[in-house]
Amino acid sequence: MPKVEYHIYVVELSKKVYTENRRFREANPQFNGVLECLYVGMTSKTPKERFQQHKTGALSKRGYNLSSSIVKKYGSYLRPSLYNHINPLSSREKALQMEKQLALELRRKRYAVWYN
């Protein structure tokens, strides 16, 4: 069985997410409107495949929604310059840790960021 690799990805969101989504706004009190709104995620697929799942509202074989409503509604495109240096990761645990670490690092830089 081939070894699974995990990837961190970043999606640029429309700035409308900040004005229209209260939870997003409350999660980003540091945001000053200058930089972009972003979504940081983790996947065992390629970032491009995962972004397509978000945008199409893909369902799992068991019928679970695989897309983030924020990315589905506000996602514009992938930002590989913010994540290519990280990938690939060898375990789900490392990927989950890196997802959070990157999201908090981008918030410190004054981006508005959503992650799970």
45 DSSP 8-state letter: S
In the chain (116 residues long), the average pLDDT of successive 10-residue segments reads 88 97 96 96 96 90 87 97 96 96 97 95
At 61 the pLDDT is 87
- Cα–Cα distance for residue pair 37/75, rounded to 1 Å: 9
> CB of 83 within 8 A of CB of 10?
yes
- Cα–Cα distance for residue pair 38/20, rounded to 1 Å: 15
